Each structure stands twice: as C-alpha cells, then as structure tokens.
Amino acid sequence: MDTPDPSVDPTGDPAGDPAERMAQWLGSLGLVDYLAEAGMLRLERGDDGRARWVDPATGDVLDAARLGDLERQLRQHGEEPVHAVPVPLVQAAHLARVRRRLLDSEWCTYETLAERRSASVEATRFAVTRAVNEHRLLAVPTELALLVPAFQLDDAGEPRVDLAPLIEPLLAAGTDPWRVWGWLTQPAALLGGQVPAEAAADPESAAIAAHAARRLAAAG
C-alpha cells in the first residue's frame, strides 16, 4: 500500500497547515511535550497562534518539505499509514512519564539513607549492596546516583520485611528496576486495583500480593 501524501487530507480534501496538522496529531497522542523534553522536536506558536516546529539542535524552523518527510516516517507503522501511531515514540513517552512520577516520589541516596540509619555512608553502601544482591531491596541506577525508593523502607531505614515476598521474585527474575518500582507503587490489575506495596502490609491481602508478584516475574 502506498503511503499517502501528508499534504493531502485522507478524505481527498486539501489539508491545512502541515505544522498544525502535526501539532494536532502528535498532541492527541500525548507526544508533543515528550518530543520537547527529549530534545527531538519543539512545538512553538507565533503571535498569530500558528504552529511551527523547531529543531532544538539548530534552532531551525522545519519547512513544509521537512515536515512532510518527518510525518511520512512517523506514519510508517501499521497497514494504514494515515491512521498509524508511532508506537515506539508512544511507548517511550509513557515510560518517561512513569519515571518522572517515580522520581517525584520519595527516595534515598547512600548519603540520605545513612543519615536515616544513623550510620556511616560506607556502612550504608555495604548494607544496601548486600540487600540488593540478596533481592531484599530495590535500588534504581540513574545517571547521577543509585536511588533507593523510600516506600520499601521502615522508619529505621531498613528494608520492609513484608515486601520481601514481592521484591525477591521480581528482582531474581531480572525485571527492570524501574518497572519494579512502578508496579509496586501504583494500582495493579492483578490485585484488582490495589497498590502492591500497600497490599503487602495488610495480612488479608499479603499472600495475594506475593502471588501477583510471582506471576509478573514469571511473565518476564
């Protein structure tokens, strides 16, 4: 099937401003902010409200020809390019939003956890490394530091015992730490909408939460 010319509306009528068409399409997919944050493409609007797309690397405004090429590339997914969705971009944008939400929650570094534990940084680093290796503690590597999500810690800064049956199978299966963090702290379908980290603290739902964690780990 030939890829439709993005300068023509799928109904056969002349399309409007290609920049505005791109803005509406990518906006409906929730990709406009992600593209800007990722440094890939930035949407701007002039005093007249008209859309224009800017290459952040050069500051150049993309003309109609470059926009057309870009739109054709983005629509190369699926059997109907006119209605296609750039799935990799949508998935990347979703992951970025999840990570932003997680980073906005409470977490510790070696230094802040050492203060919480009233211990030295060296002793804390050793304890964290051991707990991570034993799959009792979730630690998430980032470009700046290793983060220890605070939801899994008790008041003394020790790993919550009730979370071990959930964390152990997931980490042992090699599940991505970001995915583990996200699954444990948001409503889970396998638990009927309960948050796993909260369900684990309730004796009536702890066993079900552990079973859900094992199922997730087995699914890969």
Q: Are 92 and 101 in contact (CB under 8 A)?
A: no
Boundaries of every domain in the chain: 18-99, 107-219
Please give the model's pTM, rounded to 2 decimal places: 0.65
CA distance from start to end of the chain: 35
Radius of gyration of the chain (CA): 23
Return the half-sphere exposure (C-beta side, CA atoms, 13 A cut-off) of residue 15: 19
- Name residue, tokens 């730490």: 177
DSSP code, position 157:
S
* pLDDT tens for the chain, residues 1 to 220: 444 444 444 433 335 689 998 899 888 888 888 888 878 889 999 888 899 999 988 999 999 899 888 888 887 765 555 556 777 777 777 777 878 889 999 999 999 999 999 999 999 999 999 999 999 999 999 988 999 999 999 999 999 999 999 999 999 999 999 999 999 999 998 899 999 999 999 999 999 999 999 999 998 7
Contact 138, 146 (CB under 8 A): no
Q: How far apart are CA 154 and CA 149, in angstroms?
A: 11
Q: Name beta bridge partners: 21.
A: none
